[in-house]
């Protein structure tokens, strides 16, 4: 274990940030030196990475160290590249495969599953809100360098301002939340242009003095996601890298940003959420099952006494119910992933092709994903809390670590109120209305 000193860029005392030495996973860099070729191979690789994470997931959660080593493991496994173009060394896989990888990693470690999910979303940002040339440049940069991407894109904070200085845009301000920024190579920035009020997305190298991370993520769950605050001061990005903007006229390009395709980031990331919720719930079911088989004792005072917990009616019934609901949730999540694949396969590419996506098609996709969000939230919370009823009081011990699944899923399911997804789906069912595009729809 290593404690590393990070210079305090506010001029005060140094800030100490604890993280595990990435060298603990160095053997896997050679073991996984080639990336998988097809979906089955990618899923096997994700399982191998998850198996490594599972070894000490409880200890790492309790130590709460910055996940620099865990991100190195994702890099060694090639998982950061799964959606990238093959011409630059990416996996060339569709989103449905990416979602399954997120789910698999989250089964072992919800925090690292979340980090992978956000990275995959940010790695495809330019495909949606950038020009084809910008998207190509970002993919080349990220894949060839095996970069991990964080994001300072919390839309509830509108105080990240953008000013124009010559051929550059300058970001200044503050975000209460940014995911994975502390351990990222690139950061996606989203701010408001002071002259027009328009939002601009751009990528910036994280290793520069303009990023001052608060190191203040101390929430009950997802402890290893580094989702704390960041102060951004005088971070300059070329106008040519303002996604979807014309660098010469310094105006938003309506052919890129004025079409329904440009809003696909929102449903895409909502399905990222659902898949790591589902992974966490599946992980809880598996972890609890192993505990029950080994440690849970039958209740001796019920009048229908059994020798083993696995003979108890209520234990079998509860696990059976969890299994049924999780199996249904997996089927729904996979179907929603197929809908995402179909949209991107049909409409990705040049601007003329993107322009063909209609608001109705986009909205119907959003409702597939809203349905998945509702089901994975409800089922995930019920499973991660309910497993204690079939494991027993000893399972609440910190050394068992069963609580981390509930803490992780409870933390992120508050990201945006699921009640609004229920209402949205109600309007779709009763009134045949697709949702209005928002930062969360």
Q: What is the CATH number of the domain that holds 15?
A: 1.10.540.10
Range of the domain at 346: 260-431
- 152 phi/psi in degrees, rounded to 5: -105, 70
What pLDDT does 247 receive? 95
- What is the spatial distance between Cα 399 and Cα 155, in angstroms, rounded to a whole number? 37
Residues 181 and 135 in one domain: no
Q: Are 206 and 183 in contact (CB under 8 A)?
A: no
142 and 161 in a single domain? The answer is no
Do 177 and 294 lie in one domain? The reply is no
pLDDT at residue 157, as a whole number: 63
CATH of the domain at 422: 1.20.140.10
Residues 89 and 159 in one domain: no
pLDDT score of 14: 37
Are 334 and 96 a contacting pair, CB within 8 Å? Answer: yes
* Token pair for 207: 């290793």
Residues 114 and 180 in one domain: no
Q: Answer yes or no: is 313 within a domain.
A: yes
Question: Are 12 and 107 members of one domain?
Answer: yes
194 within some domain: yes
Q: Quick one: 37 and 94 in the same domain? A: yes
Under 8 Å between Cβ of 157 and 174? yes
Which residues does 321 contact at the CB level (< 8 Å), separation at least 6? none
Task: Indicate whether 30 and 115 sit together in one domain.
Answer: yes
How far is Cα 257 from Cα 344, in angstroms, rounded to an integer? 16
Task: Please tell me the total count of domains within the chain.
Answer: 3
Task: Give the CATH number, domain containing residue 203.
Answer: 2.40.110.10
User: pLDDT below 50 — which residues of the chain?
Assistant: 1-14
Cβ-contact 190, 129 below 8 angstroms: no
């Amino acid at each position: 274990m290593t404690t590393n000193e990070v210079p305090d860029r506010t001029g005060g005392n140094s800030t100490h940030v604890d993280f595990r030495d990435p060298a603990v996973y160095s053997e896997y860099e050679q073991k996984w030196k080639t990336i998988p070729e097809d979906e089955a191979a990618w899923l096997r690789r994700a399982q191998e990475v998850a198996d490594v994470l599972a070894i000490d997931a409880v200890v790492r959660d309790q130590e709460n160290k910055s996940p620099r080593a865990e991100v190195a493991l994702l890099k060694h496994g090639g998982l950061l590249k799964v959606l990238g173009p093959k011409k630059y060394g990416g996996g060339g896989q569709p989103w449905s495969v990416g979602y399954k990888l997120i789910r698999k990693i989250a089964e072992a470690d919800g925090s690292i599953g979340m980090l992978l999910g956000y990275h995959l979303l940010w790695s495809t940002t330019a495909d949606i809100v950038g020009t084809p040339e910008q998207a190509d440049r970002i993919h080349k940069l990220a894949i060839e360098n095996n970069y991990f991407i964080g994001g300072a894109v919390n839309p509830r904070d509108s105080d990240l301002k953008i000013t124009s200085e010559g051929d550059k845009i300058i970001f200044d301000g503050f975000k209460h939340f940014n995911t994975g920024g502390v351990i990222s190579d690139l950061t996606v920035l989203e701010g408001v242009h002071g002259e027009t009020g328009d939002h601009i997305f751009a990528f910036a190298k994280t290793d520069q003095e303009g990023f001052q991370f608060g190191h203040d993520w101390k929430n009950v769950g997802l402890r290893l996601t580094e989702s704390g605050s960041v102060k951004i001061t005088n971070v300059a990005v070329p106008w040519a890298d303002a996604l979807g903007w014309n660098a010469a006229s310094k105006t938003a390009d309506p052919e890129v940003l004025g079409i329904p395709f440009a809003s696909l980031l929102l449903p895409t990331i909502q399905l990222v959420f659902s898949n790591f919720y589902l992974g966490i719930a599946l992980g809880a079911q598996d972890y609890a099952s192993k505990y029950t088989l080994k440690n849970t004792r039958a209740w001796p005072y019920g009048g229908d006494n059994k020798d083993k917990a696995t003979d108890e009616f209520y234990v079998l019934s509860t696990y059976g119910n969890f299994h049924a609901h999780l199996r249904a949730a997996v089927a729904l999540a996979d179907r929603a992933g197929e809908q995402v694949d179909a949209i991107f396969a049909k409409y990705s590419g040049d601007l003329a092709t993107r322009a063909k996506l209609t608001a109705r098609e986009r909205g119907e996709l959003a409702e597939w994903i809203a349905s998945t969000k509702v089901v994975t939230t409800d089922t995930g919370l019920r499973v991660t809390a309910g497993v204690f009823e079939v494991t027993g009081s000893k399972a609440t011990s910190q050394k068992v670590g069963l609580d981390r699944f509930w803490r992780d899923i409870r933390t992120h399911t508050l990201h945006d109120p699921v009640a609004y997804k229920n209402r949205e789906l109600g309007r779709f069912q009763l009134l045949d209305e697709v949702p209005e595009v928002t930062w969360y729809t």
